[in-house]
Amino acid sequence: EVQLVESGGGLIQPGGSLRLSCAASGFTVSSNHMSWVRQAPGKGLEWVSVIYRDATTYYADSVRGRFTISRDNSKNMLYVQMKSLRAEDTAVYYCASYDGSGYYGRWGQGTLVTVSS
Amino acid sequence: QSVLTQPPSVSGVPGQRVTISCTGSSSNIGAPYDVHWYQQLPGTAPKLLIYGNSNRPSGVPDRFSGSKSGTSASLAITGLQTEDEADYYCQSYDSSLSGCVFGGGTKLTVL
């Protein structure tokens, strides 16, 4: 069974840094395109970042320069390093597989990041 | 403000047919990039409902169908059931933003 499990969320002060992790089972991260998608409380979904199979990365304008997506093939893990966090980064962060046809096929359960003083 | 426009809410009674629209532009749906739909039940992660405009993943009932025309797409749900009460999101790719875009979501209430 395919499972994606996020971790690393929590309460962080504005300007702080946090790294989120996504552990995959029954699924090989390096063989798939992978993304982070977030959802602010009571709001809709927002694409954050993608890392393609060939390790090419892209970011939403709202996080470019502050977030870095990466993966560890040996650990079958996906990460996003977030720095200079702002209140507007408060959201549930989901990791998801991104099919080459442009859809998110598999989702984790999400991890909540709260940026507040 | 979302790049793709959906109605904030729709409602229906059990057994009824409802549709949810998703309107984009020439840089996304009209480009033409495919439209995909997700169902998010309360307190859970989104789940892929329709991919490639009109395809259902294994396990999704055929009560759910999708279509696309020009710069718009629609999700139709027939034989509405109480368990269909959820938020529904459309998604596509936008060439001017070089990234994926979502609709703002539509809350379906089954009366």
List of chain B residues whose C-beta atoms are within 8 Å of the C-beta of residue A95: none
List of chain B residues whose C-beta atoms are within 8 Å of the C-beta of residue A35: 100
Beta strands of chain A (E only): which ranges?
A: 3-7, 10-12, 18-25, 33-39, 45-51, 57-59, 67-72, 77-82, 91-98, 104-107, 111-115
Q: Which of A7, A18, A3 is nearest to A96 (CA)?
A: A3
Distance CA A67, CA A89 (A): 11
Give residue ranges of B with CB < 8 Å to any A CB.
2, 33-34, 36, 38, 44-48, 51-52, 57, 89, 91-93, 97-105
Cβ separation B102–A47 shorter than 8 A = yes
Cβ separation A105–B93 shorter than 8 A = no
Q: What is the pLDDT of residues B87-102, one digit of tens each?
A: 999 999 999 988 999 9
Q: Tell me the pLDDT of chain B (111 aa) as tens digits.
A: 889 999 999 999 999 999 999 999 999 999 999 999 999 999 999 999 999 999 999 999 999 999 999 999 999 999 999 999 999 999 999 999 889 999 999 999 998
* Confidence at residue A100, expressed as pLDDT on a 0 to 100 scale: 86
Specify whether the CB–CB gap between B12 and B30 falls below 8 A.
no
B8: nearest CA in chain A? Answer: A44
**Cβ neighbours for A42, distance < 8 A, ≥ 6 positions apart:** none
Q: Is the dihedral of CA A76, A82, A87, A88 positive or negative?
A: negative
Specify whether the CB–CB gap between B53 and B37 falls below 8 A.
no
Query: How many alpha carbons lie under 13 Å from residue A46 in its C-beta half-sphere?
Result: 21
CA quadruple B30, B38, B4, B99: dihedral, nearest 10: -70
Q: Which residues of chain A have pLDDT under 70?
A: none
List of chain B residues whose C-beta atoms are within 8 Å of the C-beta of residue A59: 99
* Confidence at residue B1, expressed as pLDDT on a 0 to 100 scale: 82
* Confidence at residue B51, expressed as pLDDT on a 0 to 100 scale: 98
* Confidence at residue B9, expressed as pLDDT on a 0 to 100 scale: 97
* Confidence at residue A28, expressed as pLDDT on a 0 to 100 scale: 94
Query: How many alpha carbons lie under 13 Å from residue A12 in its C-beta half-sphere?
Result: 22
List of chain A residues whose C-beta atoms are within 8 Å of the C-beta of residue B68: none
